[in-house]
Amino acid sequence: MQFFLEVLIGGLLSGVMYALVALGFVLIYKASGVFNFAQGAMVYLAALSVVGCMEKGAPLWLAILLAFVIMTLFGIATEKFVLRKLVNQPPIALFMATIGLAFFIEGLAPMLFGSEPRALDLGIVDEPIPAILDAWGIVISKFDLVAAGVAALLVTTLALFFQYTRIGRALRAVADDHQAALSIGIPLQHIWAIVWGIAGFVALVAGLMWGARNGVQFALTFTALKALPVLIIGGFTSVPGAIVGGLIIGASEKLAEIYLPPVMQSLFGGNFGGIEGWFPYVLALFFLLIRPEGLFGEKHIDRV
Amino acid sequence: MTAATAPTEAAPAAEPYLTVNNIEVIYDHVILVLKGVSLDVPKGRIVALLGANGAGKTTTLKAISNLLRAERGDVTKGSVEFRGRRVDQLSPNELVRRGVIQVMEGRHCFAHLTLEENLLTGAYTRSISRGELKQSLEKVYHYFPRLKTRRGSQAGYTSGGEQQMCVIGRALMARPEMILLDEPSMGLAPQIVEEIFEIVKGLNGQENVSFLLAEQNTMMALRYADFGYILENGRVVMEGDAEGLRTNEDVKEFYLGISSAGRKSFKDIKHYRRRKRWLS
């Protein structure tokens, strides 16, 4: 039982890390109805900016601040040079533009800050919390707990922002209908610059967490792939969905990794390792069959 | 060409308000849609813009509201003035701030937002307090009580009439002086159309909002409007006060298929090209 709990909690906490990345996707999708292929690259760029600035001698807080500035400028530039030209174009055109953007960042970031893998130390140790270990005998990493706290804070703030603020409403309005939004005087340029700025900020948070955990390296761009099943399960348009999806993926993949191989072995024989790697995608596929809009996603509304 | 093509008698008595002066619109650099359209909307009036499909009604409205550029259309000649100042180079955002807002045809609600949220987005350009926002909301609900009862429903799931009310109400939230209303009767039951036109008339009378109304439903529009322009092939072919147009034999014949000789087959209807008023 103790072991089960440990696996479960460990899974949930790692799921939070996926949710952090998924959030960035949700933001862009909500505001422009487009799947931002470049989100993973943005995470990489953000993490690399932080370590890059630190290598040049900046303290951690300043490096984070600088990275934030870089991500914001990047957001504004994306709006100005890419999105503005694509108003009223079909979503697929925007989607392809983000693919191009991803390649652009993947080339630009190492040019600016170097491409060798580096460690990022946030000053939070990745070791069990003694109190919990003593009381229940469960290993819970302090780092994971901090990450979970950060994610929870981020999700709450964003969800409230989208639901209740003027800009938040305008963002959702733009996602529904560009033209109508334009007609009532919502300036698309500002809205897009804002949302890419926020997505850049979320990428920065994700980059910090993932970078501190796995090191800052090109593989960070692939975190986006882990976010995909999270999005499919949680729904592309829901901020809370990102976190719930993340938790489901995190917990289920860890549990599957531990408990599935013996079952599979007795059924089919042979060796079943690395279930963790593909399990989320199978789960996502399953969800696509029974609930394509995800748990919290918006249903497509059609009038007949 | 004589200069004295009898000036419009019923037209602007006071100072000019919205003036569209001989505009030409080209889409994609090649497709000429408006070939010199001029019109006036006096303050506090309802002016109808009539004509068949593809005559250029929507394009005229979009040229005024500057939504054309998002569709690769361009005003290549002429000017648009609102209260004596040129507005043709403004962004839609700036134009809404000045008091001119368009309600597009086809009921473009934000489908996933509730009706109330739809209305609230309409106030985007006004930086106002929560209290004022609430006040504006109540005012809209006063004109559209139906929206209040369904305020919490997602707009995408409401009926066509409610959606039309929603988009007009949303425009009202910006507190406009002038609404460019495009085809409000499209695809709605006659009774609902009547209801909506009554509300438009009410807004015009009580809130002093001027309307430029593009409509295919000629007779309905002329019953509520003060003045009308008839467009054909991107040109104004006829104009006059609503009463005059409504009883005009030609209008009856061309747009209703009724002539003194009774109903005619559509194939016998000729196109109207008598009173050209563009300069070429």
The model's pLDDT over A186-240, given as tens digits with 9 standing for 90+, comes to 998 888 888 888 899 999 999 998 888 888 888 888 888 888 899 999 888 888 8
- Which of A87, A173, A179 is closest, CB to CB, to B121? A173
Query: Does position B277 have pLDDT exceeding 70, yes or no?
Result: no
Distances (CA, A) of B264 to B52, B217, B220, B246, B255: 17, 19, 21, 18, 11
Residue, of A273 and A48, whose pLDDT is higher: A48
Q: Cβ A182–B67 below 8 Å, yes or no?
A: yes
Residue B31 clears pLDDT 80, i.e. is over it: yes
**pLDDT tens-digit readout, A235-292:** 888 888 888 999 999 999 888 888 888 887 788 777 777 788 888 898 999 888 988 8
pTM for the whole thing? 0.80
What digits encode the pLDDT tens for the residues B77-101?
Answer: 999 999 988 998 888 999 999 999 9
Indicate which of B28, B87, B96, B108 best probes the interface with A, i.e. most A CBs within 10 Å of its own CB.
B108
* Predicted pLDDT of residue B255: 66
Does the beta-carbon distance from A180 to B154 stay under 8 Å? no
B contact residues 155-194, partner A, Cβ 8 Å cutoff: 156-157, 160, 167, 170-171, 174
| Cβ–Cβ gap B108/A186 under 8 Å | no
Residues on chain A touching B102 (C-beta within 8 angstroms): 183
| Res. B197 pLDDT band, cuts 50 70 90 | very high
Residues of B in contact with A182 (CB under 8 A): 67, 70, 92
**A118 beta partners:** A216
Is it the case that residue B10 has pLDDT exceeding 50?
no
Mean pLDDT of chain B: 85
Distance from CA of A131 to the nearest CA of B (A): 47
* CA A39/CA A221 separation, integer angstroms: 8
Q: Given strand B235-241, what is the order of strands in its sheet?
A: B100-103, B178-182, B210-215, B46-51, B227-232, B235-241
Q: Is the pLDDT of residue B116 over 90?
A: yes
Above 60 in pLDDT, residue A3? yes
What is the average pLDDT value for chain A, to the nearest integer?
Answer: 85
Q: Which two tokens stand for residue A45?
A: 């760029």
Residues from chain A that touch B98, judged by Cβ atoms under 8 A, are none
In this predicted structure, the answer to whether residue A59 has a pLDDT above a threshold of 70 is yes
ipTM of this complex > 0.85?
no
φ/ψ of residue B76, rounded to 5: -95, -20
Q: Which helix (H) or strand (E) holds A33?
A: none
> What does the pLDDT average to over A55-84?
89
Task: Report yes or no: A46 and A111 within 8 Å, Cβ to Cβ.
Answer: no
User: How far apart are the CA of B77 and the nearest CA of chain A, in angstroms?
Assistant: 23
- pLDDT in the model for residue B61: 93
The pLDDT confidence band at residue B152, using thresholds 50, 70 and 90, is: very high
The mean-pLDDT minimum among A83-87, B23-27, B170-174 falls in: A83-87
CB contact A184 to B (< 8 Å): yes
pLDDT of residue B210: 94
Q: Where are the domains of chain A?
A: 2-221
